[in-house]
Structure 1
Amino acid sequence: MPLCPSMGSSTTKMKVDNCFFFLQETRLTKKEHLKSKRVDHSEVMENEMKVEIKEFITVWVRDPRIQEEDSWQSFVDYEICVLTNSMCFTKKTSCVRRRYKEFAWLRQRLQDNAVLISLPEIPPKIPFFSRSNAKLVEQRRQGLQEFLEKVLKSDILLSDSRLHLFLQTQLSTTEIEACASGLTDYTVTEAVHRHAKSIRRFPAEEA
């Protein structure tokens, strides 16, 4: 049976008109319904993206190497690599090399500037540390990495510019202290960018 009767009288015509309006109203309702579904879908995707994009900071202490300080002395240094999307960091990727005594310096300076929190320990200094003892070197490497991993979980410590200069520049501890204290002709950010330009380990980041 057809949805609307044929036009034959005013009454029929009225029914046809009523039918037309009914169909038109139905189409609008469907359009609104589809639009509503699209909006809901986009909101779901936006919420999913917010959930998926989380800040992270990953640090590796790796590649121990014996360095000759002079004809009589040598030391072991380690490569520190950082990969992050955190807004706390000037560069999202970086690599530097640091030795044990620089880690010890960093811990002390962080503690001096954050007296209300207890800093994680670094591996203890061994009086007769053998640089050729692979087991001792590996134990120290693991301990230094664990130290940095714990430090980087603290918002208070992340606000210390000395930490960023330690991780993302090759400045000496004396130069780090001077820069953090505002005694250099370059800022912390400029120091980090200078170091990033001096190496080509990672692709250039967008400004």
Structure 2
Amino acid sequence: MDRIDKNKPSTMFVQPIMNYKSEEWLAMVYGVPVELTAESKFLVGFAFKTKEYAHQFFDLLLGYNEGEQFDSENKIRLSFVTEDPQNYSVYIYPSIERQNVLEYQKDSEEKFGKETQNIVASLTINKYFPYGPESSFKNFKENYNPANLVELKAFLLKDNGSLEDIYEIDSIFKKDILIKHRKLFERHELEYQHHKAIVKNKNKF
């Protein structure tokens, strides 16, 4: 991540944000086709504590994708990171290559010059989940085919452990999800920068 030069003009563009509450996002749900064909879809479900928060969360994802159900340009960045034998984490954040971001950068340079530092502020959502031989994510990871669509779907996780499909929230469909081990990320990747910042902050206390 580049340092900001205080001697140069700066502008800021804020991508869609929400009041993220980790305690409202309870679990992940995965589905793998019984028979894989070109039309098959994989399922990535997000299980929430309340329907109200589920609506807010999926409204945020739709905001990343300009309100469209089909994310054909990878505007919603979704990555799954195997952290260690016991844990994996999920990242969700908006692409900095969305059209309105690129337009903002172009307009800033036209108004203030090419020396302008264009800062794009985004919410990076990251949550850890258990990982192991019986993990449904392990089965998803081993069978996932990048050529097939992934359906992002909202669920309600009830107190008795059962799942309820939140039908009034439309699914979002995309490809280009990333599955990668933590040690394989490079410095320029957001997942690397985010993890480094968290570790650095933890070491302060």
TM range (shorter): under 0.3
> Which has a greater percent of strand?
2
Structure with more contact order per residue of length (Cα contacts < 8 Å, sep ≥ 6): 2
Query: With structure 2 as the length reference, what TM-score do the two structures score?
Result: 0.21
Query: With structure 1 as the length reference, what TM-score do the two structures score?
Result: 0.21
